[in-house]
Amino acid sequence: MAVFRRISAALGQLLHDEAAPGIVLIVAAIVALALANSPTAHGWHALLHDPLPWTPVTRLASLHEWINDALMALFFFVIGLEIKREILSGELADASRRRLPVIAAVVAMAVPAAVFLGVVHNDAALHQGWAIPAATDIAFALGVLALFGRGLPPSIRLFLLTVAIVDDLGAIAIIAFFYTHDIDLGWLGAAAAILAVLVAINRFGVREWWVWPIPSALLWYATLQSGVHATVAGVLAALTVPLALDRRGDSALLRMEHAMVPFNGFLIVPLFGLANAGVELGDIGHDAMFAPLPIGVALGLLLGKPVGILLAVFGCEWSGIAQRPAGARTLHLIGMALLCGIGFTMSLFLAGLAFPTAPLLVEEAKLGILGGSIVAALLGGALLRLAARQQPAETQ
């Protein structure tokens, strides 16, 4: 019994450790790379991509499609819950506090896209990948921050979290407007009608959390059939879940977010990493590592993201629009900006959407994502560790 209690205590501590989801995601990526370059690579690829013997949704014919289009809709549902909570009662609720991270997030999506297009400008076929280096991976970045940033001002974590949330909102908009093709208006109308029902449920004051799963699943199905990427349905459904507190200080949104965050961080995102992070280096060849696509993605993450963040922070500070996070010195800001260059989950997802009929280009993009994210994580973590060890100083 003592052994079981110790295991239970260890698991409980793991679930509440902010670094844990990022660590699990890193392990999943390493396993995916190992499988993709092992003697079992063919079997692993077949498991993910071969048609399933039976599927209840004809559009999702393989395990890979179920992970990317169904499980990831749940991932985006949790992101939507988090975005709504932050907008209504969190860091994005106060206009004066959200000004700087929102500006920084917008600039730090535009600059990586510009860097990417600057690298690949001679090849029009690659231009569709402009959004790949635009978003920050929340779990990965916060995991690295928790591991290497102990002793830093709390404002650094809050700033990074807010930038990543706005990044995710921007990535969702990009998916909806730039990576949606061949719309079926009938199914799109059905999705709109279901969304209207969800909004009405909220407006009529229904507060029980169990009301949302079935119509949300129907919204996902209709959206999938319409041609709009089904993950958008996850966000839209989440935005209809009520945050209003009951007499116990609880709400449907808080209950669902609390229940789903561990499921998201310890199952959905690692499964996505396993299914998408594997790069078969033998098939690509070493020369591909220095091709324009991976170089553009890597530089977009490693150079474009931090430069965009720092330009926004220093520009807002210089112009008086907003002040830097409280207690943050320049070294803190540089380290944190580098962590924003970790684009793992969302970048992998966008790579698949950008080149749906060119698997070799997706593999090349993965090289850039993995390389840029790893270097950004190592450099950012090292600078934050150095900043944490230094004596408190005046703001530079």
Examine the pLDDT at 186 and tell me if it is beyond 50: yes
Nearest to 120 by CA among 290, 291, 287, 292: 292
Query: Confidence band (pLDDT; 50, 70, 90) for 14?
Result: very low
Examine the pLDDT at 393 and tell me if it is beyond 50: no
CATH number of 60-389: 1.20.1530.10
Higher-pLDDT residue of 201 and 177 is: 201
Q: Considering the chain, what is the average pLDDT of its residues? A: 87
- Cβ proximity of 344 and 276 under 8 Å: no
232-241 tens-digit pLDDT: 899 999 999 9
What residues contact 282, with CB distance under 8 A and at least 6 apart?
37
d(CA 250, CA 302): 41
Q: What is the value of pTM for the model shown? A: 0.85
- Cβ proximity of 237 and 209 under 8 Å: no
Could you tell me the residue ranges of all domains in the chain?
60-389
Strand partners, 51: 62
pLDDT (0 to 100) of residue 95: 77
What type of residue is 260?
M
pLDDT (0 to 100) of residue 286: 62
